[in-house]
Amino acid sequence: MHDQWQRKRAIIAELSRGGFISGEVLAANLGISRAAVSKHIASLEEFGVDVFSVKGKGYKLATPLSLIDEKRLKKSLNARCFYFDDIVSTNAFLLDHVNDLASGDICVAEHQSAGRGRRGRTWVSPYGGHLYASLYWQFSQGMAQAMGLSLVVACSLVTVLRNMGVAGVGVKWPNDIYLNHKKLAGVLIEMNGQADSLCNVVIGIGVNMSMPEQQSEKIDQPWSDLSELTEMPDKTSMMIQLQQQLVIDLEQFESDGLKVFKQRWRDVDLFDGQPIKLLMGDNVVEGICCGIDEQGAVLLETAQGVKAYVGGEISLRAQ
Ligand code: BTN
């Protein structure tokens, strides 16, 4: 690990004990100068960490941070894991290395300088605040085989969150994960390759764990994070379970398609059986949400019967 990050991590470990700690004590504990301490703190703030700095008292973390245990993560997986303190985007990293990867390999980071969200948005990625991970998968029969994949990933993610004791979590079609009606996590799938032969897929997942106040101002939609819970799930365990669950679900999806996920989808779908509207440009259709079809289209029951709707431009809303 880069020496500069080792120092920053040591400062975070000291600050994570809680309470204020003076620059002098930090400098002595780390064996560096007070000026170096204040430089590292300023740099951590640039990476999105909120640090209170009070004259006469010292420094204190405004929001608790949880970092991945790299050794435990790597030891627990049957796949390769590329772990970084800072990277442009975990999705971009895997897309740049598709020729050297095997299905199930992951990239995990503590900070993304240009985290990517859906529809060209930025995914706010403060250091240590949240979980940022991408998993590589290769489909042998082309992009058509990956149709509906984002719904499978949403099922995997909700399964893991529920297994870890997160109640009140579910999906808004196609793959926005909500906790108590506010967005908790997102999935961004990017691919390259052939329409009908080998296709490289990168599945990016961001889960909000503990949002620093200053970062929250950059988000233009209602959000939630896991710090609302009485007990915060362990980030490393969550990552291990997520990689394992994704491998199980993707193997099943590859061999049996989306049909085997139809019931699981209904169990995680926040709008199942509820009146919804679908916004498609200027067009709005209203009806009762009644699951998905085998292509991953959302099914809407109206007076005219059940109709399937699919497409990246569709937004689903409660009526
Ligand atoms: C969304 O907009 O809902 C999707 C957000 C996906 C964010 C994750 S964070 C890890 C991975 N790397 C990225 O650059 N984006 C995804």
Mean pLDDT in runs of 10 for the chain (319 residues)? Answer: 84 92 95 95 95 93 92 98 98 97 98 95 95 96 87 97 95 94 96 84 97 85 88 94 98 95 96 95 94 95 94 89
Query: pTM of the predicted model, to two decimals?
Result: 0.95
Amino acid sitting at position 11? I
CA of 11 to the centre of ligand 1 (A): 28
Give me the pLDDT at residue 2, please. Answer: 67
**Is the CB of 123 within 6 Å of ligand 1?**
yes
Determine whether the shortest distance from the Cβ of 134 to ligand 1 is under 6 A.
yes
Q: Is the CB of 206 under 6 A from ligand 1?
A: yes
H-run or E-run covering 309: strand 305-309
pLDDT at 232: 87
Q: Which H/E stretch holds residue 154?
A: helix 149-163
Q: What pLDDT sits at residue 119? A: 87
Distance 33 CA to ligand 1 centre (A): 38
The whole-number pLDDT of residue 64 equals: 84
d(CA 110, CA 84): 7
Pocket of ligand 1 contains residue 186 by CB under 6 Å: yes
Q: Report how far ligand 1's centroid is from the alpha carbon of 274 (Å).
A: 28
* pLDDT recorded at residue 221: 86
Closest CA to 184 of 159, 165, 160, 209: 209
